[in-house]
Amino acid sequence: MLQTDSNSCTFLAIGGYGQSVLPNYPWPVYHQRYLQTGFCEYSFLLSAQNSEGACLLPANVSTRLQEIERDRTLEKQSLKHLSSSHGQLSEQVHNLTVDMNNTAGLTRLVEDQIESMRAEGLEQNQTIDELKTRVRQQNQDLEDLKTLVEQQSDTISQYETRFSRLESAHNSFETLDSQLQSLKSQVALQTRSLQNHQRNHLVYVQRCESGIAYTGYAMHGHGVRAQDLSVRFRSAFRTTPVVTVGLRQLDHGNQNVRVTVAERSVTRTGMTVRVGTFADSVLYGATVNWMACA
């Protein structure tokens, strides 16, 4: 297609759909705005008007075509690179989608685990509370046991004190028992000695006989005077008896009382008792009691 504008600059555009585009390509000449072309793809460009309104020469157009071709090649490479990048991005998006799906599954699994852990945590908290209650109860029981142990320790101390006293008393009793045994031994020894003495000095009394003897006359004068009173036993003793005599009655003449009584001789059948006085005493009479045992 060949077009001519008001400035008689002609350009040829082959292909395209008659759409107006604004290429992003700088012209070789210095310009402030781009040339607006009316095609989509460049095939051949015979002439064009630059930003200053001047028509480009064919040489410049040829250079421009080379630049355009180079740019198209770069664009194709960029497009290919973009296509490859787009494929990689698509694959990455797919992988990310898969990862997101997996992550969603993992998230649900983690949420389920968190919920399970929460439930377990509640159960564990309840168990911990129960354990705390048991620990408090055990601590209270331990305190009660400590109090009981202290009381028992006091009781044991009291029993130990009592036992010490009892042990001391037992030792005293043992000492007393030892002394008692010693005394018993001494008593037994003395008893045996006494028995031996009694066996060696046995006095057997078969019978005793007693009676009264009287003086026959008064004893006047001065000096020693005496009367012998004869006593005959009713029956003879088996051995010579032991005789005891004493005054029973006394008849005296003055204030000076002087009287003696004693056995004179003793036999198995009788005895003689002598009654006397002395100095100036006067003895009118005397009665004597006697006893003989054998």
How many other C-beta atoms lie within 10 A of the C-beta of residue 215? 21
**Per-residue pLDDT tens over the stretch 263-277:** 999 999 999 999 999
The span from the CA of 169 to the CA of 156, in Å, is: 19
How many other C-beta atoms lie within 10 A of the C-beta of residue 233? 17
Give yes or no for residue 45 having a pLDDT over 50. no
Give per-residue burial for 119-156: e unless 16+ CB within 10 Å, then b.
eeeeeeeeeeeeeeeeeeeeeeeeeeeeeeeeeeeeee
Tokens at 259, concatenated: 């009287």
**Per-residue pLDDT tens over the stretch 130-169:** 888 888 888 898 888 888 888 888 888 888 888 888 888 8
| Residue 183, pLDDT score | 87
Top-confidence residue, 113 or 208: 208
Strands, DSSP E only, in 66-193? none
DSSP labels, 167-208: HHHHHHHHHHHHHHHHHHHHHHHHHHHHHHHHHHT------E
Q: Give me the sign of the Cα torsion angle 236, 238, 239, 241.
A: negative
Is the full-model pTM beyond 0.85? Answer: no
Mean pLDDT for 247-253 is 92
Nearest to 276 by CA among 267, 289, 264: 264
- Rg of the chain's alpha carbons, rounded to an integer? 85
Top-confidence residue, 239 or 93: 239
